[in-house]
Chains A and B, each alone.
Chain A
Amino acid sequence: MLAYVLRRFVVIIPTLIVVSVVTFAIIQLPPGDFFTTLQAEVAETGGGQDKEVIKKLQEVYGLDKPVYVQYLKWVAGFPRLDFGYSLEWSAPVWDVIVSKLAYTVFLGGLSLLFMVVVSIPIGIYSATHQYSVGDHLLSMVGFFGLCLPGFLLALVWMFLGIIILRIDVGGTMSREMVNAPWSMAKLLDYLNHLWPAVVVLGLASTAQLQRITRSNLLDVLGQQHITTARAKGLKERKVISKYAMRMAINPLISVMALEIPKIVGASTLVGIVMMLPTLGPIFLRALRSQDMYLAGTILLFTTLILMLSNLLADIALAWADPRIVYT
C-alpha cells in the first residue's frame, strides 16, 4: 500500500512536467505578450504607450527572449518555490496565489462536505422510498440542480440579494466589516457570505451524487444477501447502513473524485460572479492580460489538485473496501 502511494506520487512529477510544457505553450498561443496587451487595453480606455516604451519593458522583463528560454527561466525556480514574477501584480507569483489557493481549497472542501452530507441521505431516502412522492420531489430538485450551471445559480443569488432582498451579497464579507476587528458580528457576516458560495458550488454535484447513491443502493437492495439479512430479522436501519451502503459506497467514492475537478472548474466562474477570492478571478485576469507565469502556475496547481484528489480517492477506496488489492 505504502509503496503504491509512493509510486503514485513519483508518477505525478513527470505528469506535471508535461503539463507545465503544454500549459506554457497554450498560454503563448495568442498573439502578442503582456505588454502589447497592456498597450491595447490602455489605449482602449484612452491612454497609450509608445512602441519604444513597450520594447524597453519587454527587454527589462525578458519577454523578447525565445519561448523556451522563458520557459526554462520559469521552471528553474520551481525547486525554490519560485514560480516566476507576475507582471500584472508586480510581485512573485507565489505571493499572488497563495491566499487564493488556500481559499479555493477551503471552499472546495466545504462544498464537497456539503455535497456528501446532503446527497447521501437524500439518495438513501430516494432508494428506500422508491417512486414515493418524496422520491419524485427530491429527484425533481436534484435534476434542477443538475441542469443549472453553478454560475447561473450564482447570478440568480446575486440578483435575489441585490434587487429583491437588498442584502449584502458577493465577496467574503460586507464592506463595513472588512476592516473591523474580529467579533461575533463579523463572523456571522462572514458565514452569511460563505454558505451561498458553498451551496452554489456543491449543488450541481449534489444532484449527481444523489442519483448515483439512489441507483447503486437500489441495485444492492435487490441482492440476495440483503434479502437474507431482512429474512433473519435485522432492523431495516442496520440492513441499510451496515450491509447495503457498504456495498454501494465504492462507486460513490470514484464519482466524488470525479466531482472535485468540476468543483475547481466551477469555482472559477462562481468566484468571478460572486466576487470571491478564489483562484478563478485572478486566473481569468492572468489569461486576459497574458500574465503567462501567473496563468501557467495556476494551471499547474489546478492540475496538482486534481491528481492529488484522484490519489486520495484511490486510497479511500482501498480503505473502504478490503477486496481491493494494490500491486
Chain B
Amino acid sequence: MAKKILSRRSFLKSAAISAIGIVAAGCQAKVVEKVVKETVIKEVEKVVKETVVVAGTPEVVEKVVKEVVEKEKIVEVAKVSTRQAPMLQEMVKAGELPPLEARLPLEPLVVEPVESVGKYGGTWYRGWRGIKDFHCYGRLVYEPMLRWPRDPADPVQPGLAKSWEWSDGGKALTLHLRKGLKWSDGAPFTVDDIIFWWEAIEIDENISPAPHTEWVVAGEPMKLERVDDTTITLKFAAPNGLAETVGLAFHGNQWPLGFERFGFFAPRHYLEQFHPKYNTGATYELFEEKAFDYNTERPSMMPWVITTWETGADHMLATRNPYYWKVDVEGNQLPYIDEVYFYLVEDNPAINILAIAGKIDMQNRGIEFAQITVYQENAEAGGYHLYLWSRAEASSPTFFPNQSYPDPKYRALMQDLKFRQALSLAIDRDLINEICYLGQAIPRSITVVRDSALFQPDIEDYYAQYDPDAGKTLLDEVGLPVGADGMRTFADGSPLELIVETQASGAELDGIELVAENWRALGLEVTVKTMIRDLYWPRACGNEVMIGTWGTDRGLVPMIDPIYQFPFDERSWMAPSFGIWYKTMGKDGEEPMPELKELMDLYDEYRVTADPDDQLDIAKKIVRLSTERLNVIETVGMMPSLTVVKNNFHNVQEHHTSDWLIMTPGTMDPCHFWME
C-alpha cells in the first residue's frame, strides 16, 4: 500500500513538473519565432487524501481515494527548433535550456563544409596519452579570436571576432566581437573577458613572468581601450606586425591552453572569485587550478567541454557545448558529434594498437607512419581508411652547426659558409629518404614547406645535390688538410673531430648515422652521441653542443616562432649564445657577426610592419637568406603524417599540411566533423 501511494504521488509530482515546464516554455515564447497554440486535454489522476479515524484505535490512517478528473487547459507550446542536436531539443522541451535562438549569437560563424552538411550524434573515440597530451583535446577545440585559414595561402580569418581594423598607421587594432556570444554556462562573452585576461593574468607577475612579446611593442606593453561590450581597441607604441598572427590566431585562445600558458581571454565571471586581486581570500594556486583546462566547472567557448575527468580515471569525456556559436551552411548549430571520448593510454604504441583495431574514429596525433603496412593490412577489418597528410617539417633530421660554440677554433669553422656548404653537399639525401622514410619524404634544404606562403621553389634544393667531390674541394679551400691517415685536421695540424649530439631514435637516428657516414667520406672525423631528451635539451640550449640535431618543424608559418631561421633565442641551436643576445636585446649572450645580425634586423622590421604584403616580402627575404646561408643543414622533409579516419567519419580534409602552430586539425573545424 505504502508503495502505491508513493508511486501516485510521484506521478502527480512529475505531472506538475511537466505542466510547469510547458508553462515555462510558454513564457520564453517571446524569443521564439513561431508559437503554436494548442489545446491540451489532460487526464489527471486526482488523489484525495481522507483522514479516517478508525474507531477504537488512536491511529490515524491516510486513505487514498482515486478520482479521475477531466481538465481542459490552453497552453502556449513553443516549437523547438530542429536546427540543433536532438539531445538539446529534449532539454529545451524540458525547459532546462533556453531555445536555440536565445543561445546562438546574432551573427554565428558559418562553417563551410569540407565535404557535406552532416547529421547529429555519435561519440568520437580517440587515444590520449594523458594530461600532458593536452593537445589531443586542445587542437580539436581551436577557438581563438582570429583563425588560421584552412588554406595556408589565405589570410587570417574571423573567429570570435567577426571583423577587425587597423588604424593610426598600424598602432591601433580594433576588434569587433560577435554580438550575443555566450560561455558554455550561458553567461555573456564580452570584451571584459579580454580585459580580465590582460589585467589579471598577462600582466600579473604572479602568473606570467612577462607579457608575451607580441603585446610588448617598442618596449611598451599594449593598452586596452574598451569601446563597448563587443568592441575593444588595442593600442601599441609602434606598429604591431605580430598581433594578427601570433597574438590572435596562434595565442588567441582561452588562457592557458594546457601547459602552453598563453591565451587572449578568460571567463571573468567565473574566475574573478578565485583571483587574489578581486577576492582577498583566494590564492594564486587556487586560481591556477580553477583556470586550468581540466577543471570541468570552468566555462569555455569550445564545441565540446570536458565533462568527465577525475584523478586516476581511465578516460576523459568532452560533451557538446549547448551555447556553441557556430552553425553550418544550413543554419544547424554545431558541433554535430555529441561527445569526444579519450582513452587514456600510456604511449604511442597503445594508440596505434587501438587505431589498428578500429577503435579510434579519427586521429592523426600519435599515429605512426612507420606502421603504415600494418595499418593498410587491417584497414578493411578495422573499417577505416588512411590519409597521408604532409608534416610542416622542412626537414628531419636537421643539423645545427653551432656558430657560437665556445671553442674558438671550432667556432670559426662552423661560421665558415664554405664549410657548411661542404657538409650539405656531402649528404646523400635520396638514400636517407629511401632508408628512413620509405621514399615518402622530399630531399630539400629550404627552411619552409611547399604549402607555406613563404615558399620559393628556386631555392628548395639549394646546395642539396649529392656531390661529395665538390664538398672535398670546398673543405680544401676552407683549409682543412688531409693527414697521413686520410683524415682532415685543422690547418695547424691539430686533430679535428665533429661531435654530433642527438636525442633522436628510430628513423631519425638512422638518418643521422647516414649523414655521419657521408661526412666521414669527406675525411672528417665524426662522433655521434645519443642521449635522452632531458639531457640533450638543456645541453643544446646551454650552448654546449657542437652540432645539434632536431627536426625543423614550424615550416608553414615560421615567423610565428622563427627559431630555425636565425638565432632567435636559446632554442636556436645554430647559435644559442647569439640567440640569447637577440632575445635579451644585448643584455646577455654574445653579439653575433653581421650576417646573422642582418636577419635579426629583418625580423625586427617584420615585427613593426602591420601591412600584410610588406610583411610577406620581409618574411620571404628572411627565408631566402636563412636557406642560402645554410644556418641549419637540412636533409629530407615534408614526410607524410598518417591519419586514420573511420569509413563512417566525414568532413576530414584529405590533403593537409599538419603543424602544431596552426593547431592541426583545428583549421578544418573539427566541430563540423560528423559520423554516420
Q: Which residues of A contact B (CB under 8 A)?
A: 30-32, 36-53, 55-56, 60, 86, 88-92, 95-100, 158, 162-163, 166, 168, 170-172, 175, 178-179, 272, 275, 277, 281-282, 284-285, 289
Q: Could you mark each residue 326-354 of chain B with 1 if its beta carbon is under 8 Å from any beta carbon of chain A, else 0?
A: 00000000000000010101110010011
Q: Say whether, besides A90-B292, A175-B125, A42 and B357 are in contact (CB < 8 Å).
A: no
> Smallest Cβ distance from A165 to chain B, in angstroms?
11
Chain A residues near B357 (CB-CB < 8 A): 162, 166, 168
Do A88 and B538 touch across chains, with their CB atoms under 8 A apart?
A: no
Do B314 and A50 touch across chains, with their CB atoms under 8 A apart?
A: no
Identify B315's interface contact among A38, A39, A43, A178, CB under 8 A. Answer: A178
Identify B571's interface contact among A48, A100, A162, A277, CB under 8 A. Answer: A48
Chain A residues near B209 (CB-CB < 8 A): 50, 52-53, 55-56
Chain B residues near A175 (CB-CB < 8 A): 125, 341, 343, 359
Chain A residues near B561 (CB-CB < 8 A): 48
Q: Say whether, besides A31-B535, A55-B209, A285-B130, A60 and B659 are in contact (CB < 8 Å).
A: no
Chain A residues near B553 (CB-CB < 8 A): 46
Chain B residues near A46 (CB-CB < 8 A): 553-554, 659-661
- Residue of B260, B312, B535 most packed against chain A (CB within 10 A): B312
The distance in angstroms between the C-alpha atoms of A303 and B217, with both chains bound, is 56
Give the residue name and chain of the B residue nearest to A290 (CB): B534
Chain A residues near B317 (CB-CB < 8 A): 179
Do B260 and A49 touch across chains, with their CB atoms under 8 A apart?
A: yes
Q: List 12 additional contacts besides A31-B535, A40-B537, A175-B359; criterion CB under 8 Å.
A: A36-B537, A46-B659, A47-B260, A47-B660, A60-B288, A89-B131, A96-B311, A96-B312, A163-B378, A171-B343, A275-B350, A277-B312
Confirm or deny: B109 has a beta carbon within 8 angstroms of a beta carbon on chain A. Answer: no
Chain A residues near B381 (CB-CB < 8 A): 166
Chain B residues near A60 (CB-CB < 8 A): 284-285, 288
Do A49 and B261 touch across chains, with their CB atoms under 8 A apart?
A: yes
Give the residue name and chain of the A residue nearest to B553 (CB): A46
Give the 10 A-B CB pairs with smallest separation, nearest first.
A46-B660, A52-B209, A91-B311, A40-B537, A162-B357, A95-B311, A281-B346, A272-B346, A99-B312, A40-B533
Identify B259's interface contact among A42, A44, A272, CB under 8 A. Answer: A42
| B121-170 interface with A by 8 A CB criterion | 125, 130-132, 135
The distance in angstroms between the C-alpha atoms of A69 and B372, with both chains bound, is 50
* Number of CB contacts from chain A to chain B under 8 A: 114
Chain B residues near A289 (CB-CB < 8 A): 132
Do A42 and B284 touch across chains, with their CB atoms under 8 A apart?
A: no
In this complex, how many residues of chain B approach chain A with their Cβ under 8 Å: the count is 49
Give the residue name and chain of the A residue nearest to B345 (CB): A275
Give the residue name and chain of the A residue nearest to B339 (CB): A179
Q: List 24 A-B contacts (CB under 8 A).
A: A36-B537, A40-B536, A42-B259, A43-B537, A46-B553, A46-B659, A46-B661, A47-B135, A49-B259, A51-B570, A52-B210, A53-B261, A91-B311, A96-B311, A170-B353, A171-B314, A175-B341, A178-B314, A272-B350, A275-B343, A275-B345, A275-B350, A281-B346, A285-B346
Chain A residues near B312 (CB-CB < 8 A): 89, 95-100, 277, 282
- Residue of A86, A285, A289 most packed against chain B (CB within 10 A): A285
Chain A residues near B208 (CB-CB < 8 A): 53, 56
Give the residue name and chain of the B residue nearest to A93 (CB): B311
Chain B residues near A92 (CB-CB < 8 A): 311
Confirm or deny: B289 has a beta carbon within 8 angstroms of a beta carbon on chain A. Answer: yes
> Smallest Cβ distance from B351 to chain A, in angstroms?
11
The distance in angstroms between the C-alpha atoms of A277 and B312, with both chains bound, is 8
Chain A residues near B437 (CB-CB < 8 A): none
Give the residue name and chain of the A residue nearest to B284 (CB): A60
| B377-395 interface with A by 8 A CB criterion | 378, 381
Identify A275's interface contact among B261, B346, B554, B570, CB under 8 A. Answer: B346
> Smallest Cβ distance from B505 to chain A, in angstroms?
11
The distance in angstroms between the C-alpha atoms of A223 and B364, with both chains bound, is 68
Give the residue name and chain of the B residue nearest to A32 (CB): B534
- Residue of A45, A96, A175 most packed against chain B (CB within 10 A): A45
The distance in angstroms between the C-alpha atoms of A55 and B261, with both chains bound, is 13
Do A42 and B132 touch across chains, with their CB atoms under 8 A apart?
A: yes
Confirm or deny: B356 has a beta carbon within 8 angstroms of a beta carbon on chain A. Answer: yes
The distance in angstroms between the C-alpha atoms of A158 and B359, with both chains bound, is 14
| B286-326 interface with A by 8 A CB criterion | 288-289, 292, 294, 311-312, 314-315, 317
Do B132 and A277 touch across chains, with their CB atoms under 8 A apart?
A: no
Q: Say whether, besides A31-B534, A37-B534, A96-B312, A42 and B353 are in contact (CB < 8 Å).
A: no
Do B353 and A162 touch across chains, with their CB atoms under 8 A apart?
A: yes
The distance in angstroms between the C-alpha atoms of A40 and B535, with both chains bound, is 10
> Smallest Cβ distance from B397 to chain A, in angstroms?
14
Give the residue name and chain of the A residue nearest to B295 (CB): A90
The distance in angstroms between the C-alpha atoms of A168 and B315, with both chains bound, is 16
Chain B residues near A32 (CB-CB < 8 A): 534, 538
> Smallest Cβ distance from B218 to chain A, in angstroms?
20
Chain A residues near B571 (CB-CB < 8 A): 43, 48
Give the residue name and chain of the A residue nearest to B209 (CB): A52
Q: Could you mark each residue 566-591 of chain B with 1 if its beta carbon is under 8 Å from any beta carbon of chain A, else 0?
A: 00001100000000000000000000
> Smallest Cβ distance from A49 to chain B, in angstroms?
7
> Smallest Cβ distance from A53 to chain B, in angstroms?
6
Q: Say whether, besides A52-B210, A95-B311, A289-B132, A45 and B660 are in contact (CB < 8 Å).
A: yes
> Smallest Cβ distance from A90 to chain B, in angstroms?
7
Give the residue name and chain of the B residue nearest to A41 (CB): B132
Chain B residues near A162 (CB-CB < 8 A): 353, 356-357
